[in-house]
Amino acid sequence: MGLETPEKPAVKVDPFAKLPTSKRLNVIEEFEKRAQAKPTLNVCIVGHVDSGKSTTVGHLMYLTDTVNQRSMRKLEHESQKIGKGSFAFAWALDETEEERNRGVTMDIGTAHFETEHYRFCILDAPGHRDFIPNMISGTAQADAAVLVVDGSTNAFESGFDAGGQTKEHAILARSLGIQTLIVAINKMDMVQWSQERFEEIKEKLGAYLYQLGFKQSNVAFVPISGFHGVNLYDNKEPALTQWYHGPTLTEQLDRLPPSIRAVEKPLRMRVTDFFKGGVGGSGGVSVAGNIEAGSIQVGEQVLVVPGNEVGYVKTLLVNDESAQWAVAGDSVLLTLSNLDILNLSNGCMICSGSNPVPLTSLFRVQIVVFDIRIPITPGYPVILHHGSLDEPASITKLISIIDKATGEVKKKNPRCITRNMTATVEVQMSQRAIPLETFKDNKQLGRIVLRRGGDTVAAGVVTEILTYGS
């Protein structure tokens, strides 16, 4: 069978057909004005279960005054009632009853706070093994990541060695394109604020991170206690001030590089959640998600892909505040009218009507293979994760093995691919075509993760789309 000539779908809908010229905004101009105000950075918190991610973020919000003192006291009281007093700060973020009882973060919680230069949207990704798919959708949206490690005796080691998630999370963050990492070495109170312990972890973990391809200048290590609030916002712990003179976690976050947003590209919004009824009890359908590229404004017509159904943007919330427009990098909640909720599905996308995202079921990817036991051979079944979407697929063809150091092809048409290799393969979706773009066209949408039997097999970037259409 020859390959179909790749062709992008034809023009579908004029986005501005229902929006009089007088009411249209020049979103790029508006964005430039807003950019002079405080830009938003999306930061994902990753790390081994119980390393203290939720506690740290909860405490950061408290210190930067987002969770006010009154609600913090209420949480303290509630958590003491069920005998889990130490989880009070984590509760600022972990919201569902099930999470409170289990003491683990299951879905991605978002939190907001401000520093001198940025507004932060913090995505608290779950660390528990079963929840890695959720974590993937979390990092896929992030500009940078904070990797929390438990510095207490033996705890760092069990998170770092086989079975721990510290390495897997670092690989995922890297494979999904995150370049800047803040490593928060937590629970320093448990090791008497020992400089020696800090240096030991920094050296071990640092060597590993640089080997993964993180640049040394893009990785910072900060000793903290999430629970006691030390070196989060300020450092008043005498034992720590003795030897640590670097930035606090907040200062380090404030030093992150600004993110470059693909605002001039066609609209691509990944849908993470949807429900019946509009904002403020109005009619329509509410759709939550993150804008990966382009811009959107109230009054615009958009397409839902797959399905190519048209919706009309009635209202728009950006970071929980009412807005007239939003751009790449913003987390939004839209109310769409003229659209049946049945047209929305998990993993669908909201796109520009004039330039929708292509649908494909056959494409090439360059992957980094993880520590797998069974080598990959043609026909290898996987679950493909792309943002919040997960769908069965298989690796149908092995194209080449690539030299990690030089990026050159080492071997063409290999018979199998084994652990830790970098390779190019063809992936065929088993059930339906999915919205996808090449990494070259769209850095956010061009990344995928392949898992099998609950383990992450490989992660990589889409290099070529081979067939278009459903």
User: Measured from the CB of residue 45, what is the shortest distance to ligand GDP in angstroms?
Assistant: 8
Q: At what angle do helices 166-175 and 195-212 cross, to 10 degrees?
A: 40
Of these, 187, 270, 314, 447, which contacts ligand GDP (CB under 6 A)?
A: 187
| Token pair in block for residue 123 | 């995505």
The phi, psi pair for 35, rounded to 5°, reads -65, -25
Q: Note whether 261 binds ligand GDP by CB under 6 A.
A: no
CA 387 to chain centre: 8
Of these, 79, 166, 186, 366, which contacts ligand GDP (CB under 6 A)?
A: 186
| Token pair in block for residue 154 | 């033996």
Range in contact with ligand GDP (rule: CB under 6 A) among 221-229, 385-393, 423-431, 448-456: 221-229
- Residues touching ligand GDP: how many (CB under 6 A)? 23
Q: Note whether 105 binds ligand GDP by CB under 6 A.
A: yes
- Cross-strand bridge partners of residue 44: 123, 145
| Token pair in block for residue 171 | 């690989």
Cα gap 289→334, rounded to integer Å: 9
Cα gap 3→428, rounded to integer Å: 13
CA end-to-end distance (rounded Å), the chain: 18
Beta-sheet pairing, 349-352 with 268-276: antiparallel
Q: Note whether 227 binds ligand GDP by CB under 6 A.
A: yes
User: Measured from the CB of residue 188, what is the shortest distance to ligand GDP in angstroms?
Assistant: 7
| Token pair in block for residue 29 | 């101009």
DSSP conformational letter for 204: H
Exposed/middle/buried for residue 419 (C-beta within 10 Å: 0-12, 13-18, 19+): middle
Amino acid at the residue 417 = I
User: Measured from the CB of residue 265, what is the shortest distance to ligand GDP in angstroms?
Assistant: 35
Cα gap 261→442, rounded to integer Å: 11
In 3D space, the residue among 309, 293, 297 whose CA is nearest the CA of residue 18 turns out to be 297
Q: Note whether 368 binds ligand GDP by CB under 6 A.
A: no
State the binding string over 375-414 for ligand GDP (x if CB under 6 A, else -). ----------------------------------------
Cα gap 384→450, rounded to integer Å: 5
Range in contact with ligand GDP (rule: CB under 6 A) among 72-80, 183-191, 199-207, 430-438: 183-191
Q: Which is nearer to ligand GDP, 57 or 298 (CB)?
A: 57
Of these, 15, 52, 278, 311, which contacts ligand GDP (CB under 6 A)?
A: 52
User: Measured from the CB of residue 93, what is the shortest distance to ligand GDP in angstroms?
Assistant: 8
Q: Which is nearer to ligand GDP, 84 or 202 (CB)?
A: 84
| Token pair in block for residue 195 | 């400089």
Range in contact with ligand GDP (rule: CB under 6 A) among 46-54, 210-218, 250-258, 391-399: 46-54
Beta-sheet pairing, 389-402 with 119-124: unpaired
User: Measured from the CB of residue 94, what is the shortest distance to ligand GDP in angstroms?
Assistant: 7
Q: Note whether 90 binds ligand GDP by CB under 6 A.
A: yes
Of these, 225, 290, 422, 467, which contacts ligand GDP (CB under 6 A)?
A: 225
Q: Which is nearer to ligand GDP, 87 or 363 (CB)?
A: 87
User: Measured from the CB of residue 273, what is the shortest distance to ligand GDP in angstroms?
Assistant: 22
Range in contact with ligand GDP (rule: CB under 6 A) among 83-91, 273-281, 283-291, 306-314: 83-91
Q: Which is nearer to ligand GDP, 119 or 228 (CB)?
A: 228
Q: At what angle do helices 132-139 and 166-175 cross, to 10 degrees?
A: 40
Of these, 53, 169, 386, 447, which contacts ligand GDP (CB under 6 A)?
A: 53
Cα gap 296→313, rounded to integer Å: 9
Residues that bind ligand GDP (CB under 6 A): 47, 49-55, 86-87, 90, 103-105, 127, 186-187, 189-190, 225-228
